[in-house]
Structure 1
Amino acid sequence: MSLNHDITTLTDIELLVDTFYAKVQKDELIGSIFNDKIGDNWPEHLEKMYRFWQTILLNEHTYSGSPFPPHKQLPVEKAHFDRWIDIFTETADLLFAGPIVEEAKFRAKNMATMFHHKIDYFRNAAKHNTNH
């Protein structure tokens, strides 16, 4: 039985996001992809992620924008998304327990699946267009 509480505040989201991305930055498979793309803009990226998850999980509408476009050109494959999900799930389970954290893991998995399929779609469309 976990003694952890559920995600209920912005402080909880900040802890989840900060802990998750600290692990991502050091990860052998996906760390360099994030670090190369984000560079010195980690504070801005983390702030955007706080607002994104606050909007989704706490229904406090602080995020606006479209999350997919910045990911469209990333050099990623299914293995990268699988690793991202593994780290997210492991971090969420380490820090929290309850229905909102379960929703976070569900949403993260769905997002990773959708992003992977959309990236594949755009790559295939680009290949198709260059072959004609």
Structure 2
Amino acid sequence: MADISTQDDVVLLVDSFYDRVRNDNTIGPIFNNIIEDWSHHLPKMYRFWGTVLFGEPGYSGNTIATHIAIDKKFPLKEEHYASWIGLWKSTVDSLFAGEKAEEAKKRGMLMIQLINFKVDDSHNKNFIQ
């Protein structure tokens, strides 16, 4: 298996991951209710992961604020985060092997930990984003 090395690889990874997410019993219902237009959402995720993995410009957004808003509609729990990272890692492993693939898994884990921490902390009255 080849490593993640191009934007086309990022597109393949993101598309494959979200195909799994949409069909997952734990997080699929949340994503399918929140995301009304996948054709709008997926290019944002291509840009996000292109920025994370290759330093490519183009992503602008507030990941934390987005997930805090989601938590208000669909309270996010430990099993949601576990499902997300499990799907992310297994998708990476099914498609790629190498340094960037390992980095993608590590960055996914760090991101999900930060989101979990910030979403949980947002329940406190003295929360600072």
The verdict on a shared fold, with TM-score over 0.5 as the criterion, is yes
1:20 corresponds to 2:5: no
1:35 aligns with 2:21: no
Question: What stretches of structure 2 of length at least 5 have no aligned partner?
Answer: none
Q: Show CA shifts across 1:3-39 (max 9, x none).
A: x101111100000000000000000000000010102
**How far did residue 125 of structure 1 move?**
2.9
Work out which of the residue numbers 63, 66, 79 in structure 1 matches 2:62: 66
Aligned residues: 123
Cα separation, 2, equivalents of 1:96 and 1:125: 43
Structure 1 residue 88, shift from structure 2 partner: 0.3
After superposition, where does 1:62-101 map in structure 2 within 5 Å?
Answer: 62-73=58-69, 74=71, 75-101=75-101
Distance in structure 1 (CA, Å) of the matches to 2:44 and 2:38 = 10
Amino acid at match of 1:66: N
* Identical-residue share of aligned pairs (%): 43
Normalising by structure 2, what TM-score? 0.90
The one-letter amino acid of 1:93's match is: D
Corresponding letter in the other structure for 1:89: K
Give 5+ residue unaligned stretches, structure 1.
Answer: none
Number of the residue aligned with 1:55: 51
One-letter amino acid of the counterpart of residue 30, structure 1: I
Cα distance in 1 for residues equivalent to 2:84 and 2:102? 16
| Separation in 2, partners of 1:69, 1:87 | 23
Corresponding residue for 1:120?
Answer: 120
Match of 2:123, SS? helix
Alpha-carbon distance in structure 1 between the residues aligned to 2:125 and 2:11: 37
Instruction: Calculate the aligned-residue CA RMSD, in Å.
Output: 1.4
Q: C-alpha separation between the residues in 1 aligned to 2:117 and 2:65?
A: 13
**2:40 equivalent in structure 1:** 44
Check whether the contact 2:3–2:97 (CA below 8 A) recurs between aligned residues: yes
Residues in 1 aligned to 2:119 and 2:104: alpha-carbon distance in whole angstroms: 22
Structure number, greater radius of gyration: 1
